[in-house]
Chains A and B, each alone.
Chain A
């Protein structure tokens, strides 16, 4: 039980990480390989602000805003040529461009903040949950993730803007014909996806810590979850995140941390073989 709870907590972080990536992919056709670096950039800004004596909430707010702003900056600058292409050509060019951004950002972040880590693990008391003792930091991180994911789902399902986002994800031209502004909606989705990445910096800072070199691992985690959940599907990313989180926790306990990445990848391959369009199957969002 403790393992499952641990796994769900980790899985919620994975879900938060992957929804940002999958939301942007679904709408813009851009698979952002610098997604992990968005988390790291947010973490570094948060850590520096905390180090300078800023109040915790302000520092974390700054962290989230940084990631959202960095994402939208990427959308309106480097990614511009990408949107002239359609379909697979767009995905390919976006992969190349964001891979370059990931390398450059990684170098810059590691060079600028070699010893900085965002660590919010203030002395947190443990609490009893379902008969198991868990760290309250982990509970808080999970609650943040649940609120953010729930908020995103409500936004997508019930608001006009959410409907516009879903329409663009399904049929870009059809959405334009309905008066949906693709550029504006895309910028909004980059802000949303980037902010979700910023929140991952916060929640990861709560349960462990985020350093300058974490970017690549985070991107890989996000990619695995996104693919298992079905590219572009928010609900799939949430389910896949929690599932892989539990697999990760169980594997880490019974087999050892060395092999957990391998086991995650095997789990991902099995899901993709059985359900090529993602864990929930079918098409669309």
Chain B
């Protein structure tokens, strides 16, 4: 579904991603794990079309999408959910969700389906998104992305700002979504255990380079991963 070759991202003169190669097959969930500042966010932003200065090749389902702006990628079904969520705080939850499928006409069935996935949103429907709790805002952000029936969902640190129990809930929702909709997911995460539980495969990113790759099970058993990211010995 997604093929990334030689992706380089720089902020000013400082390069933070040094030639990243990465692949996500259709229906697969892939985790991009690494510590804070490893370049995960920069890589995802570049794939999502938010870093116009990046270089490298990006293909979506075989189609060249390098250099396309973010809104064009969203319309093609590559939908990015940033860690800061970027909701429209003064607009209602419903409006936020409906915007997820812009410029398509609001689809009632889809809206009902998304609300069914996150029942909390039904109660909050007419409330401004800015008044919601962190967990609820994360639900709106993911729900907004799902409104489009994404071909590829890019999730950046969905655990940000959430209590551990909520992290579990959010990841449980992702697991359900994978089953229900055969969703293809690339998730960047610092909370490595949760991400490895969801993912089929993972890449370990350090200082802007892939250090290690393998299936989620392999990496869970890898002594280096256990030491650095799982807090185990």
| Chain A positions near chain B (C-beta within 8 angstroms) | 160, 163-164, 166-167, 170-171, 173-182, 283-285
Contact of B99 among A164, A173, A181 (CB under 8 A): A164
Sample of 16 A–B contacts (CB below 8 Å): A164-B99, A167-B91, A167-B99, A167-B102, A171-B87, A174-B86, A175-B71, A177-B70, A177-B82, A177-B86, A179-B74, A180-B71, A180-B103, A181-B69, A181-B72, A284-B89
Chain A CB within 8 A of B118 CB: no
Docked pose: A128 CA to B165 CA in angstroms: 68
Contacting pair B148 A160 (CB below 8 A): no
Chain A CB within 8 A of B216 CB: no
Min CB–CB distance A89 → chain B (angstroms): 15
Contacting pair A166 B91 (CB below 8 A): yes
Min CB–CB distance A175 → chain B (angstroms): 8
Min CB–CB distance A211 → chain B (angstroms): 40
Chain A CB within 8 A of B48 CB: yes
Per-residue interface assignment for chain B, residues 73 to 97, with 1 indicating a CB less than 8 Å from any chain A CB and 0 otherwise? 0110001111001111111000100
Min CB–CB distance A256 → chain B (angstroms): 42
Contact of A170 among B85, B91, B98, B105 (CB under 8 A): B91
Docked pose: A181 CA to B49 CA in angstroms: 13
Contacting pair A173 B86 (CB below 8 A): yes
Contacting pair B88 A177 (CB below 8 A): no
Min CB–CB distance A233 → chain B (angstroms): 10
Contacting pair B50 A163 (CB below 8 A): no
- Give the residues in chain A near B201, CB-CB below 8 Å: none
Contacting pair B102 A163 (CB below 8 A): yes
- Give the residues in chain A near B89, CB-CB below 8 Å: 170-171, 283-284
**B17-62: which have CB < 8 Å to A?**
48-50
Contacting pair A170 B48 (CB below 8 A): no
Q: Which partner residue on chain B sits nearest A176 by CB separation?
A: B70
Docked pose: A176 CA to B72 CA in angstroms: 8
Q: Which partner residue on chain A sits nearest B52 by CB separation?
A: A84
| Chain B positions near chain A (C-beta within 8 angstroms) | 48-50, 69-72, 74-75, 79-82, 85-91, 95, 98-103, 105-106, 130, 144-145, 148
Contacting pair B90 A178 (CB below 8 A): no
Contact of B88 among A160, A174, A182 (CB under 8 A): A174
Given A173-B50, A177-B48, A177-B81, 17 more A-B residue pairs with CB atoms under 8 Å apart are A160-B106, A163-B102, A167-B99, A170-B88, A176-B49, A177-B86, A177-B145, A178-B71, A178-B99, A178-B100, A179-B75, A179-B101, A179-B102, A180-B102, A180-B103, A181-B71, A284-B130
- Give the residues in chain B near A164, CB-CB below 8 Å: 99, 102-103
Contacting pair A171 B86 (CB below 8 A): yes
Q: Which of B70, B72, B98, B148 has the most CB of A within 10 A?
A: B70
Q: Which partner residue on chain B sits nearest A168 by CB separation?
A: B88
The 10 closest A-B pairs by CB, nearest first: A284-B90, A174-B86, A179-B74, A176-B70, A170-B88, A179-B75, A178-B99, A176-B71, A179-B102, A181-B71
Min CB–CB distance A110 → chain B (angstroms): 41
- CB contact under 8 A between A177 and B80, given known A170-B88, A170-B89: yes
Docked pose: A178 CA to B90 CA in angstroms: 16
Contacting pair B105 A160 (CB below 8 A): yes
Contacting pair B50 A178 (CB below 8 A): no
Docked pose: A174 CA to B99 CA in angstroms: 10
- Give the residues in chain B near A178, CB-CB below 8 Å: 71, 74, 99-100, 102, 144
Contacting pair A163 B70 (CB below 8 A): no
- Give the residues in chain A near B80, CB-CB below 8 Å: 177
- CB contact under 8 A between A176 and B99, given known A181-B71, A285-B90: no
Docked pose: A223 CA to B8 CA in angstroms: 44
Docked pose: A71 CA to B69 CA in angstroms: 25
- Give the residues in chain A near B69, CB-CB below 8 Å: 176, 181
Docked pose: A182 CA to B52 CA in angstroms: 15
Contacting pair B87 A179 (CB below 8 A): no
Min CB–CB distance B83 → chain A (angstroms): 12
Contacting pair A160 B90 (CB below 8 A): no
Contacting pair B91 A179 (CB below 8 A): no
- Give the residues in chain B near A181, CB-CB below 8 Å: 69, 71-72
- Give the residues in chain B near A173, CB-CB below 8 Å: 50, 70, 82, 86
